[in-house]
Structure 1
Amino acid sequence: MPDEPRTRPAPAASDAPDRAVLRRVAGAALLGSALEWYDYFLFGAAAALVFGEVFFPSQDPTVAVLLSLATFGAGFVARPVGAVVFGRIGDKHGRRPALVATVLVMGLATTAMALIPSHATIGVGAPALLVITRLLQGMGSGAEYSGASVFAVEYAPPNRRGLYGSLSAAGVYLGMVLSSAAVLLVTAVTTDEQFASWGWRLPFLASLVLVAMGLWIRVRLDETPEFEREIAVDDDTAPGPLRTVLRTQWRSMVLVAALVAAPLALSHLYQVFALSYLDEKGYSPGIGTLGLVIAGFTVMITAPLAGLASDRFGRRPVLMAGAGFAIAFAFPFFWLVDTGRPGLAVLAMAIAQGGSVGIAFGVQGVLLSELFSTGARYSGAAISREAAAVVFGGFAPFLAVALSTTAGGAPWPVALYVIGLGLITLIGGWFAPETARRGLAGSRPPTAGPIEGDTASPAR
């Protein structure tokens, strides 16, 4: 079992925030994440549809797509760095300032992407600038999802932590819907040549407006009571959050890597690789984008339902159900797409995202929050998840294209890859502790002092 920090009983109902505060927290978890992840998914869509032509011109379209998707993956390399930097801010100075900072970093980097000249204009400087802004975007995203989940879970009533933790997952996919809808709108009113020339830049410029909205949402929030109690008894001589998680909670970090393997990799595979695969099969760009929009709405339903189910039945069985669905649907996804019928292709994308990703993703936020102690929760959740993102997530679209290419365009190696990812998460769920009916690890009830053995002793 992972080395879980000592837990306290869940706080009494009288200690819980009032409903008005909880509504604001829920709205911030959903809308704040949506506005920020609009930026991230917009890059993924553009990488699959147009960046190969604009920034990586090549006589071989497959090589251009591979280079474009490799740039998409480069952002994942920066995510652990962002997790360390913003995780420390979140654990030492507050969850709110860290979340405000991630909005600024991601939003400004995305807006800057809209202003980068093409390769035809400035040569190799164009892809270099694209990589730099992508790395900055990756740093911001490295602490966004985990931080938003931690914020919501620490505010949530004990019997609704799963639901509140799932709202940031639903917000991520609301961001995907917004970015996909923006691309769909621009492609509908421009020709292919206009979209490749200047049309793709418009959704990136719109990010500046969304940054302002995201800041307005987050600066209005108060710090979580959980963090306020932690900071009130903080010992300046205590080790920092990074040292804490690496020395005393490293087993939880390894476990998290397995738990998030399938939802992390498959979310990007079914968003980014699916677009290039549909394009290869002769579907118009609008079909793939429409599929992403419908798939996003599907996850916005299945993720909160999974969170609710985890409050009732436990985290482990719901997570394992999501991993099992991913395994079962690996081959049917490609069977439906390969029919050449747009309706079935869109259905495949919706089912894959809603079931293979949405169920496991809906439980991920609360699990990450419950496995780490309050004083290192932001860092532990963010670093472990984003380190796993480098291994499993960032280069999943690139690997999928490479596997399919080596098989002459056949999808069966990609389906086997999906099954392997599902098995990793299934095994992780089997060995994970059940945390649904425990108090948050290492938490301090009101007026409490430090917890003896706060981060060293396993909870039982």
Structure 2
Amino acid sequence: MGTRPRRSRRTHPRPAHRRRLTTDRPRPARRRTGSSCCALPRSHHPPETSMSHTLSTPASPPPPAPPAGPGTDRRTLTRVCTAVLLGSALEWYDYFLYGAAAALVFGQVFFPSASESTSLLLSLATFGVGFVARPIGAMVFGHIGDKHGRRPALIATLMLMGLSTTAMALIPSHAMIGMAAPLLLVVLRLLQGMGSGAEYSGASVYAVEYAPPGRRGLFGSFSAAGVYLGLVLSSAALLLTTSLTTDAQFASWGWRLPFLASLLLIFLGLWIRLRLEETPAFEEVTEDAPPAKAPLLTLVRTQWRSMVLVMGLVAAPLSFSHLYQVFALSYMAEHGYDRVTGTAGLLVAGLVVMITAPLAGIASDRFGRRPVLMAGALYAAAFAFPFFALVDSGRPLLAMLALALAQGGSVGIMFGVQGVVLSELFTTASRYSGAAVSREFAAIIFGGFAPLIAVSLAASANGASWPVGIYVVVLAGITLVAAFLAPETYRSSLSEPVSGPAVD
């Protein structure tokens, strides 16, 4: 009758480079799954390119279904996840090592004083000083990540954190060079803080931009799992060192050994990250238009609401991670626990988070980001006072259980979703800067000085823990309110993130 026979409906799409046009009319392009670029946003419907006419061929048997992702196969995705997990672990080994050493030994090595509590406060103050440098690092490396690529920024943060940590092992004590010792420690801590200011957010952005549809939460959780793998490694290094040395040996030279080991980890981390390729999302956006000259200024002007939301969303997990990793060690030491109990508890807690964080990411892919964040905040508030009750029992196993439940339950759940939320609330062109700068300014306000605030609160109540419990509840409430106000993003396009107040 002059009409063409109907083509059979395919059960899976043909790759973009093998499609052909069957009419003269432009047709909406199907979602690209085998190309090196990101999938097109659903709201855009560009016509088929001339490549389709050039490659028009007779019908052939359909090829195997391509992987569901932004131009990546299973092997590439596995390499990305492994690189994010191990790279983050090696960097945060340095960071957690400093926090534990500040609570255990830096007071007597660099800040000798007639009062043990004064030495501890000064030591913890240097831990907080690093947070002052983190927004600077976020701005510097966020700019690099948005203008020159995620990969070079992640390599630079690795080098800065690793070298500054190794140098800390070489600082003479206060008894040898006087005030120069704590000054050198503070300078190196500032450099370490700059590197850490763009590490977690950058690794999260990298993983999420590579993630297949419907699995961004899982991929974003690998950076959180990597952070706590770093905690496990640093805790294991300290546990081994404290077990093999006396208290005097540990204070004299034993604490330096895990810091020196950081030099070896730098080379491993550098080898991992040099093998990475740039994310498809960044390559696509820079092909369409040159990067902005000042991504941060564009971000502040156009996406400030998302920045404010992120600061509230990360308030609790940032604070709790440092409360339970730094303050808890000093609190346990004051209550008669030895160093082995505290470091072993952190090791177990890190292992628990490595399980709960990916589970939280998977749950957020199914139920949404907001419900999972709210669940983590509620858990943290509910466990605030039971945590101190378990520690105050004087039983090492119960104290270790308290650390595992606090970290694995509250911190693990919220950190597992944090990475993907940071990425989804910002556009690709300014995503690295947006995630890093927002998170690190929140780190100054809520996280960096949380151990110092907790020590001061406990001291004001003659060593009682109830003021710290109230502090934990308040921080959990901030994140709970922010999660309630935030938009739900788990079904949004990564190229068109949602911002502003909740819309559902």
- Structure 2-normalised TM-score? 0.86
The separation in 2 between residues aligned to 1:407 and 1:207, in whole angstroms, is 39
Quick one: which of 283, 286, 290 aligns to 2:344? 290
The separation in 2 between residues aligned to 1:256 and 1:334, in whole angstroms, is 29
Name 1:154's counterpart in structure 2.
209
Name 2:240's counterpart in structure 1.
185
- Kindly indicate whether residue 466 of structure 2 is the aligned counterpart of residue 412 of structure 1: yes
The separation in 2 between residues aligned to 1:295 and 1:224, in whole angstroms, is 32
Q: In the alignment, is the contact (CA less than 8 A) between 1:248 and 1:455 conserved in 2? A: no
Name 1:329's counterpart in structure 2.
383
| Partner amino acid, structure 2, of 1:412 | W
Quick one: which of 209, 220, 223 aligns to 1:168? 223
Name 2:368's counterpart in structure 1.
314
| Partner amino acid, structure 1, of 2:116 | P
Q: In the alignment, is the contact (CA less than 8 A) between 2:70 and 2:280 conserved in 1? A: no
Provide Cα deviations, 1:361-395, integer angstroms capped at 9, x if missing partner.
Answer: 10000000000000000000000000000000000
The separation in 1 between residues aligned to 2:294 and 2:144, in whole angstroms, is 11
- Kindly indicate whether residue 80 of structure 2 is the aligned counterpart of residue 25 of structure 1: yes
Name 1:8's counterpart in structure 2.
41
The Cα of 1:235 is off from its aligned counterpart by 3.3
Provide Cα deviations, 1:415-460, integer angstroms capped at 9, x if missing partner.
Answer: 00000000000000000100001110448xxxxxxxxxx999x999
Provide Cα deviations, 1:91-143, integer angstroms capped at 9, x if missing partner.
Answer: 00000000000000000000000000000000000000000000000000000
Name 2:147's counterpart in structure 1.
92
Quick one: which of 369, 374, 377 aligns to 2:428? 374
Quick one: which of 46, 63, 85 aligns to 2:118? 63
Q: In the alignment, is the contact (CA less than 8 A) between 1:260 and 1:364 conserved in 2? A: yes
Quick one: which of 410, 414, 439 aligns to 1:385? 439
Greater helix content: 1
Task: For 1:424-435, list aligned pairs within 5 A.
Answer: 424-435=478-489
* RMSD between superposed Cα atoms in Å: 1.8
**CA 1:249–1:26 in 2, change beyond 3 Å: closer, same or farther?**
same
- Kindly indicate whether residue 456 of structure 2 is the aligned counterpart of residue 423 of structure 1: no
Higher RCO, 1 vs 2 (CA within 8 Å, ≥6 residues apart): 1
Name 1:230's counterpart in structure 2.
285
The separation in 2 between residues aligned to 1:336 and 1:116, in whole angstroms, is 37
The separation in 2 between residues aligned to 1:362 and 1:193, in whole angstroms, is 39
Q: In the alignment, is the contact (CA less than 8 A) between 1:10 and 1:438 conserved in 2? A: no
Provide Cα deviations, 1:69-109, integer angstroms capped at 9, x if missing partner.
Answer: 00000000000000000000000000000000000000000
The Cα of 1:240 is off from its aligned counterpart by 1.8
Name 1:301's counterpart in structure 2.
355
Name 1:402's counterpart in structure 2.
456
- Kindly indicate whether residue 296 of structure 2 is the aligned counterpart of residue 263 of structure 1: no
The separation in 2 between residues aligned to 1:125 and 1:15, in whole angstroms, is 52
The separation in 2 between residues aligned to 1:247 and 1:417, in whole angstroms, is 33
Name 1:252's counterpart in structure 2.
306
The Cα of 1:8 is off from its aligned counterpart by 3.0
SS in structure 2 of the partner of residue 437 of structure 1: coil
The separation in 2 between residues aligned to 1:353 and 1:14, in whole angstroms, is 32
| Partner amino acid, structure 2, of 1:25 | V
| Partner amino acid, structure 2, of 1:69 | L
The separation in 2 between residues aligned to 1:107 and 1:290, in whole angstroms, is 24
The Cα of 1:332 is off from its aligned counterpart by 0.2
| Partner amino acid, structure 1, of 2:289 | D
**CA 1:435–1:114 in 2, change beyond 3 Å: closer, same or farther?**
same
- Structure 1-normalised TM-score? 0.94
Q: In the alignment, is the contact (CA less than 8 A) between 1:79 and 1:143 conserved in 2? A: yes
The separation in 1 between residues aligned to 2:75 and 2:503, in whole angstroms, is 33
Name 1:220's counterpart in structure 2.
275
The separation in 1 between residues aligned to 2:478 and 2:429, in whole angstroms, is 29
Provide Cα deviations, 1:208-239, integer angstroms capped at 9, x if missing partner.
Answer: 00000110000101100000001112236x45
- Kindly indicate whether residue 96 of structure 2 is the aligned counterpart of residue 41 of structure 1: yes
Name 2:64's counterpart in structure 1.
none
The separation in 1 between residues aligned to 2:69 and 2:165, in whole angstroms, is 43
Q: In the alignment, is the contact (CA less than 8 A) between 2:69 and 2:213 conserved in 1? A: no
Q: In the alignment, is the contact (CA less than 8 A) between 1:8 and 1:438 conserved in 2? A: no
The separation in 2 between residues aligned to 1:158 and 1:263, in whole angstroms, is 26
Q: In the alignment, is the contact (CA less than 8 A) between 2:231 and 2:347 conserved in 1? A: yes
| Partner amino acid, structure 1, of 2:298 | T
The separation in 2 between residues aligned to 1:283 and 1:15, in whole angstroms, is 50
Name 1:132's counterpart in structure 2.
187
Q: In the alignment, is the contact (CA less than 8 A) between 1:442 and 1:455 conserved in 2? A: no
Name 1:451's counterpart in structure 2.
none
The Cα of 1:10 is off from its aligned counterpart by 9.5
Name 1:108's counterpart in structure 2.
163
The separation in 2 between residues aligned to 1:319 and 1:246, in whole angstroms, is 25
The Cα of 1:13 is off from its aligned counterpart by 3.0
Q: In the alignment, is the contact (CA less than 8 A) between 2:110 and 2:174 conserved in 1? A: yes
SS in structure 2 of the partner of residue 116 of structure 1: coil
The separation in 2 between residues aligned to 1:29 and 1:10, in whole angstroms, is 30
Total equivalences in the alignment: 442
Q: Percent identity?
A: 69
SS in structure 1 of the partner of residue 417 of structure 2: helix
The Cα of 1:195 is off from its aligned counterpart by 0.2
Name 1:450's counterpart in structure 2.
none
The separation in 2 between residues aligned to 1:419 and 1:87, in whole angstroms, is 32
Provide Cα deviations, 1:157-195, integer angstroms capped at 9, x if missing partner.
Answer: 011000000000000000000001000000011000000
Q: In the alignment, is the contact (CA less than 8 A) between 2:70 and 2:212 conserved in 1? A: no
**CA 1:283–1:438 in 2, change beyond 3 Å: closer, same or farther?**
same
Name 2:175's counterpart in structure 1.
120
